[in-house]
Amino acid sequence: MKSAIGCAAVFGLMSMVLVGCMPPKGEGNGRVESTDTTPAERGDAQVQLTAQHEFSDKVVQQLAADMSQIPDLNGQYRATVVFGDIVNKTGIVPTSDFEAFRTRVRQKLMQSQAVLKNIRFVENKARVNDLVKREGEGDTPGRAALNPKFTYFLNGEMYRSNRVGGRQEVNEYLMSYNLTNMETGEIVWTNAPYEVKQVR
């Protein structure tokens, strides 16, 4: 009996010490789930962040599903995808938002082994050459030249239509992605159009 009480006391003391050493738990200081829409977002004319996340997930699902069906991406050679241009015609949404969106698409695609089997993703040439110039030694060359026949640009486009009537403003956004062949300029894939309408 004594030993059981002694063990319980030791265990209780150890628990207090461990709890005392644990880092403090964060308090409610503004952090919300990424799927939540905040009052600030509801009053903003820009595309809500939840809509951007939803669209990026749809692009990934569509592109990953279509990969095995696109003849150009299932030939003898592994295709190369370069993240190309962003056309931002919204007038109010920062291009940096769309760049972050594009990075999210790339990260999700690169988690799929089925996608990586047929496609490799490469960094923008200017960025690679800047890194090589900064970190390389002597005449280290930059990124090797790409074969235009098997290289594709993943381009993004974002447009906004705006209507104002009385106290209400309506913004409709159209967001799309396409894969364009470097050699021919042919668009070999585009996602189903994604449209978001917001009223404020």
At residue 75's C-alpha, the angle toward residues 70 and 80, to 5°, is 80
DSSP-assigned beta bridge partners for residue 91? none
Tens of pLDDT along 10-51?
A: 455 445 444 555 555 556 666 656 556 666 666 666 667 777
The set of residues, in sequence order, having a beta carbon less than 8 Å from that of 49 and lying 6+ positions away, is 34, 41
Residue 122: predicted pLDDT: 82
Residue 196: predicted pLDDT: 82
Tens of pLDDT along 58-85?
A: 888 888 888 778 888 888 888 998 888 8
91, 46 contact by CB (below 8 A): no
Residue 10: predicted pLDDT: 47
Tens of pLDDT along 167-184?
A: 888 888 888 889 999 999
Q: Which domains does the chain have, with CATH numbers?
A: 45-199 (3.40.50)
Residue 138: predicted pLDDT: 55
110, 116 contact by CB (below 8 A): yes
Residue 43: predicted pLDDT: 60
127 alpha carbon, distance to own chain's centre? 18
Half-sphere exposure of 143 (CA within 13 A, CB side): 15
CA–CA dist 60, 108 (Å, integer): 7
81, 200 contact by CB (below 8 A): no
At residue 73's C-alpha, the angle toward residues 67 and 77, to 5°, is 140
Tens of pLDDT along 90-131?
A: 888 888 888 888 888 888 888 888 888 888 888 777 766 676
Q: How far is CA 187 from CA 56, 113, 180, 191, in A?
A: 20, 24, 4, 11
* Structural tokens at position 22: 């644990």
Whether 164 shows a pLDDT value over 90: the answer reads no
CA–CA dist 50, 164 (Å, integer): 24
H, E, C per residue of 94-115: CHHHHHHHHHHHHHHHCCCHHH
Q: Is 16 helix (H, G, I), strand (E, B) or coil?
A: helix
* Residue type, position 107, single letter: Q
pLDDT mean across residues, the chain: 77
* Residue type, position 14, single letter: M
